[in-house]
């Protein structure tokens, strides 16, 4: 397995990590991305990662409203934030 790990730090202290792994002999690769926010972002953030209020049940929202598809279709959901 071949993998790459990257961390991007912002001047504010926020950062994200990305880990890409590929399996030898297969064309499949995957990427895990983690966004690390500050405590001051709690309850005032929104987007693909939810609103960071500690309640996972309300993370799939768009414009403050529950996302209509359940389970959500991931590509359509991601494109809705463009």
Domain holding 58, by residue range, is 46-82
- In 3D space, the residue among 63, 58, 56, 57 whose CA is nearest the CA of residue 80 turns out to be 63
Q: Tens digits of per-residue pLDDT, 17-42?
A: 999 888 777 778 888 888 888 888 77
Q: Kindly state whether residue 41 falls inside one of the protein's structural domains.
A: no
If asked whether residues 52 and 29 sit together in one domain, one would say no
Q: Kindly state whether residue 15 falls inside one of the protein's structural domains.
A: yes
Measuring CA to CA, how many Å separate 24 from each of 1, 4, 21, 27? 6, 14, 10, 8
Task: State the DSSP code for 40.
Answer: G
| Residue 1 confidence class, pLDDT cut points 50, 70, 90 | low
Q: Tens digits of per-residue pLDDT, 6-20?
A: 999 988 888 999 998
Q: Kindly state whether residue 82 falls inside one of the protein's structural domains.
A: yes
Q: Kindly state whether residue 6 falls inside one of the protein's structural domains.
A: yes
Task: Provide the greatest CA pair distance for the chain.
Answer: 45
Domain count, the chain: 2
Return the structure tokens found at 13.
């202290």
Length of the chain: 82
Global confidence as pTM: 0.50
Q: Kindly state whether residue 53 falls inside one of the protein's structural domains.
A: yes
Contact (Cβ atoms closer than 8 angstroms) between residue 9 and residue 20: no
């Amino acid at each position: 397995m071949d993998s790459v790990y990257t961390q991007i730090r912002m001047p504010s202290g926020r950062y994200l990590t990305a880990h890409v792994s590929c399996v030898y002999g297969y064309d499949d690769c995957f990427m895990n991305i983690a966004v690390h926010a500050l405590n001051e972002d709690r309850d005032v953030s929104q987007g693909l990662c939810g609103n960071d209020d500690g309640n996972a049940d309300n993370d799939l929202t768009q414009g403050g409203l529950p996302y209509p598809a359940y389970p959500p279709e991931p590509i359509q959901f991601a494109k809705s934030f463009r």
